[in-house]
Structure 1
Amino acid sequence: MKNLLTRTLTGILFIVIITTAVLSGAYTFLFIFGIISLLGYIEFINLTQFGRKFDKILLMLDMAGACALFLAVFSFSGQLPYNFQKASILTYVIYLIARPVTQLYSTPEKSPITSWAYSILGQIYVVLPLALLGVWGYKSDYQLFMNTEYLLMALFVFVWTNDTGAYIVGCTLGKHRLFERISPKKSWEGFFGGLAFCIILASLANYIIPGMLSTAQWIGMGILTSIFSTWGDLCESLLKRTAGVKDSGKILPGHGGILDRFDSELIASPVIFIYLTFVL
């Protein structure tokens, strides 16, 4: 009961923070999701280094690179001054040059190339997708004729709906394992339950947020979100299973770490970015 209460309170606080970040404007999103992406990146580094003691200078450099990448990508939303965009892109390019050079002079280790590769991979896997959310969620060209932050909020609602539907149907009807090698508890019944919940919600979206997308476009977004958020969950499970841990971190009591809460968005975000690029 105590654990359930902890999970519930953390879940409510999480929803409040995300909703506030998305609906309070581009700069609030930039601040909150900038912190989230950095914390998620640190979790990824900790997981992939398998507890090995890593060079603090490299870690600080990688964190700076992650911040520069987030700002550089977000700047394409048009919400930041052009000079700031140039500065952030230039900073990230400098990081890409400095990272391998610094590796040469770091503490000798068994696999320096692995350390270098994980640093860049973490930025692509964690930071880039979260920054892309801000690009299409607040793109100035789109906001001339629609409130695109509502589309961004819809992505999160679809993910939460998919998780809820998969859990309810999976717990009651689940018999056939979806991907037992990676996630023994997930079932095909749960997957189709989450997909059905998303399609139902998408069918009603025009009544909730009129004038954004057609019903067919909403359904397309709901289906893509359901499928790719499930893959996102499985990919993060693969990461944790490889690292031999249950949760990616402990920052969210009862829920684990940042990656545990945003694993779905890390894969779904780029897909919805591509989808909306062609739809809008």
Structure 2
Amino acid sequence: MRIRIISATVGIPIVLLAIWLELPGIAALTVLAGLVGGFELDRMMRPGTSRTGSSRIVSLVMGPALLASIAAWMVSDGRLSGDQMPIFLAIVFALAVLVRGTATLGRSSSDRNPNEWVYWVFAAYVGLALAHAPVLVSLDSGRELILLAILTTFAVDSVALFVGVSIGRHRLAPSISPKKSWEGAVGGVVGGVIAAIAIDAAFDIPFSVVTAGILGAVLGVTGVVGDLYESWIKRRADVKDSGTLIPGHGGILDRLDSVIPDLAVVYWATVWSSL
């Protein structure tokens, strides 16, 4: 527990500094997260060995960071708006699938993990979700919106853990994450509703109480699903943590599993509510 607290004491100021710097800070943090997350994914594809394929390094490691970099550049250059985002994401996803296919051509079947496609899909998902961070912070009240996503996710995780430990009896997904319960998940969603309404009021974000409450519930569900998705990937790779970057917490993907899908949810909720 002490190590976890020390890690949080170091990490939280870094995140807050990045948010305060807005686009430059969030873009740098997002690209770094993409790079580290890509390395963690590459290691999970080939556990127990130091060998790495150059094509896989380029697509898995650089892929998430590249998507985040492109989003940051397009925002800073005035090339990206909410109306253009769906087209941008469709193009990027198509390119990610193309890279995944071409990167495995010519490799012998003995050199492949038969389930490796799940890592490529997860890499595309991580990159697309991370790409929303620099776009989100560039909206009106961008810093407050980033904080809404992060703090609500933290509230969901904390309440879900507390409720699950206290009264959790029915396992949510025992084959993926045995410690998670339906009671904890429901408690997390309720915590997300309360947190989103409170944060919206405290930061004067232009959501109505009803909209903030619905958003909090959606963030709760999305956060739980994101957590389970990353846990499923780790189960496929037969590893406990995605990495060892953050002492007491695991890898960067372990810390971002619930946050990154919630960043996308807050972005789209903001864009749609302003239409």
Flag whether TM exceeds 0.5 (same fold). Answer: yes
Could you tell which deviates more after superposition, 114-123 or 210-219? 114-123
Distance change >3 Å, CA 64–CA 187, structure 1 → 2: closer
Q: Is the contact made by 2:155 and 2:188 (CA closer than 8 Å) also made in structure 1?
A: yes
Counterpart of 1:85 in structure 2 is none
Q: Is the contact made by 1:199 and 1:222 (CA closer than 8 Å) also made in structure 2?
A: yes
2:142 to 133, 140, 148: 148
Q: Secondary structure at the match of 1:110?
A: helix
Counterpart of 2:210 in structure 1 is 216
- Equivalent residues in 2 for 1:104-253, closer than 5 Å: 104=105, 108=108, 110=110, 117=117, 120-138=120-138, 142-143=139-140, 147-253=141-247
Calculate the aligned-residue CA RMSD, in Å.
3.0
Q: Is the contact made by 1:133 and 1:269 (CA closer than 8 Å) also made in structure 2?
A: yes
Distance change >3 Å, CA 98–CA 153, structure 1 → 2: closer
Counterpart of 2:73 in structure 1 is 75
Structure 2 letter corresponding to 1:150: E
Structure 2 letter corresponding to 1:261: R
- Equivalent residues in 2 for 1:7-26, closer than 5 Å: 7-26=4-23
Structure 1 letter corresponding to 2:260: L
2: CA distance between counterparts of 1:80 and 1:115?
39
Q: Secondary structure at the match of 2:110?
A: coil
Structure 2 letter corresponding to 1:15: I
Q: How much has 1:115 moved relative to structure 2? A: 9.3
Q: Is the contact made by 1:69 and 1:92 (CA closer than 8 Å) also made in structure 2?
A: no
> What whole-Å deviation, never above 9, does each CA across 1:15-39 have from its counterpart, x for those lacking one?
2222222222100111122111110
Q: How much has 1:195 moved relative to structure 2? A: 1.6
Distance change >3 Å, CA 210–CA 97, structure 1 → 2: closer
Q: How much has 1:274 moved relative to structure 2? A: 2.7
Q: How much has 1:221 moved relative to structure 2? A: 1.6
Q: Is the contact made by 1:61 and 1:95 (CA closer than 8 Å) also made in structure 2?
A: no
Distance change >3 Å, CA 115–CA 55, structure 1 → 2: farther
Q: How much has 1:275 moved relative to structure 2? A: 2.4
Q: Secondary structure at the match of 2:172?
A: strand
Q: Secondary structure at the match of 2:179?
A: strand
Q: Gaps (5+ residues) in structure 2?
A: 80-88
Task: Give the length in aligned residue pairs.
Answer: 263
Q: TM-score, with normalisation over the residues of structure 1?
A: 0.81
Which has more radius of gyration? 1
Q: Gaps (5+ residues) in structure 1?
A: 83-88
Q: How much has 1:117 moved relative to structure 2? A: 4.6
1:272 to 262, 266, 269: 266
Structure 1 letter corresponding to 2:171: R
Counterpart of 1:49 in structure 2 is 46
Q: Is the contact made by 2:30 and 2:130 (CA closer than 8 Å) also made in structure 1?
A: yes
Q: Is the contact made by 1:129 and 1:265 (CA closer than 8 Å) also made in structure 2?
A: no
Q: Secondary structure at the match of 2:206?
A: coil
1: CA distance between counterparts of 2:7 and 2:160?
20
Structure 1 letter corresponding to 2:206: M
Distance change >3 Å, CA 242–CA 114, structure 1 → 2: closer
Distance change >3 Å, CA 219–CA 98, structure 1 → 2: closer
Q: How much has 1:68 moved relative to structure 2? A: 2.7
Q: Is the contact made by 1:23 and 1:150 (CA closer than 8 Å) also made in structure 2?
A: no
1: CA distance between counterparts of 2:169 and 2:115?
40
1: CA distance between counterparts of 2:52 and 2:150?
36
Could you tell which deviates more after superposition, 8-17 or 204-213? 204-213
> What whole-Å deviation, never above 9, does each CA across 1:197-242 have from its counterpart, x for those lacking one?
2222223234311142211121122111110100111111111111
- What is the identity percentage for the equivalent residue pairs of Structure 1 and Structure 2? 25
Distance change >3 Å, CA 113–CA 179, structure 1 → 2: closer
Q: Is the contact made by 1:69 and 1:128 (CA closer than 8 Å) also made in structure 2?
A: yes
> What whole-Å deviation, never above 9, does each CA across 1:5-58 have from its counterpart, x for those lacking one?
101111222222222222221001111221111101111121123445654432
Counterpart of 2:85 in structure 1 is none
